[in-house]
Amino acid sequence: GAVVSQHPSWVICKSGTSVKIECRSLDFQATTMFWYRQFPKQSLMLMATSNEGSKATYEQGVEKDKFLINHASLTLSTLTVTSAHPEDSSFYICSARSGTGVNEQFFGPGTRLTVL
Amino acid sequence: DAKTTQPPSMDCAEGRAANLPCNHSTISGNEYVYWYRQIHSQGPQYIIHGLKNNETNEMASLIITEDRKSSTLILPHATLRDTAVYYCIVRVATNAGNMLTFGGGTRLMVKP
């Protein structure tokens, strides 16, 4: 299947700093990318959906000014956690889809964020 | 998208078949059944999907009942590496913007 990468795989930062997470589709063009968050022992929760070249659509309860999403190209989306706090510590997972039709949604390996 | 119901956990002996059930009684005619799994601290991995007919690939088989209200994912010879959380999801597949919504899944523990 298609490959989605994330960088970094883990990051530790101080409270109040900003952290950028990159998501890349390596061998296909992703017209749509999704960002999920997963707390320990819980399921994945969708944060936002982004289409290349347009603003992201955020799920209810997700602050768009805190979680900045940029989908500047068909192979790259970034999530920036601004002014991170300990409660933002979580496993962040991106996912990518290409085109339309019956196809799979491919997931990145995730990024573990720990805010001290 | 239709809601799914899965048992929270299951055990399976190594080498035996693992049969993971999923109920999706409100599924509509244009919704597909997808299965993903998530090994600890990794991103979800696509396993298989289907609409009406049973499907098989190198990872698993998907059995969908005739009324499409339930399905079963079958891992024919479970190994320790199959220990993971398995998610059953139904979704209209033709909308590229339509995201996957994850429920609680089934935590499968494969034991030696």
Look at residues B89, B86, B92, B98 and name the one whose alpha carbon lies nearest to residue B45: B86
d(CA B44, CA B86): 9
* Tokens 């768009």 -> residue: A64
Say yes or no for a CB contact (<8 Å) between A100 and B87. Answer: no
Say yes or no for a CB contact (<8 Å) between B44 and A112. Answer: no
pLDDT at A1 exceeding the cut of 80: no
d(CA B25, CA B64): 12
Question: How confident is the model over B89-100, as a mean pLDDT?
Answer: 70
Chain A closest CA to B49's CA: distance in Å? 8
Chain A closest CA to B104's CA: distance in Å? 6
**Residue A56: CB partners within 8 Å, gap ≥ 6?**
A48, A49, A50, A64, A69, A71
Taking CA–CA distances from A30, the nearest residue in chain B reads: B96
List residues of chain A with CB under 8 Å from any CB of chain B.
1, 4, 6, 31-32, 34, 36, 43-46, 49, 51, 91, 93, 95, 97-110, 112
Reading phi first (left if > 0) and then psi (alpha if -120 to 50, else beta), residue A2 is in: beta
Confidence category of residue A103, pLDDT binned at 50, 70, 90:
low
What confidence score (pLDDT) does residue A55 get?
Answer: 86
Average pLDDT, chain A: 91
What confidence score (pLDDT) does residue B100 get?
Answer: 82
Look at residues A41, A45, A42, A106 and name the one whose alpha carbon lies nearest to residue A75: A106
Task: List, for residues B6-35, the tens digit of each pLDDT value.
Answer: 999 999 999 999 999 999 999 988 889 999
pLDDT at A39 exceeding the cut of 80: yes
Question: How confident is the model over A89-100, as a mean pLDDT?
Answer: 87
Task: List, for residues B61-92, the tens digit of each pLDDT value.
Answer: 999 999 999 999 999 999 999 999 999 999 87
d(CA A85, CA A82): 9
Which residues does chain A have within 8 Å of residue B104's beta carbon, measured at their own beta carbons? 43
* Tokens 């068909």 -> residue: A74
What confidence score (pLDDT) does residue A27 get?
Answer: 86
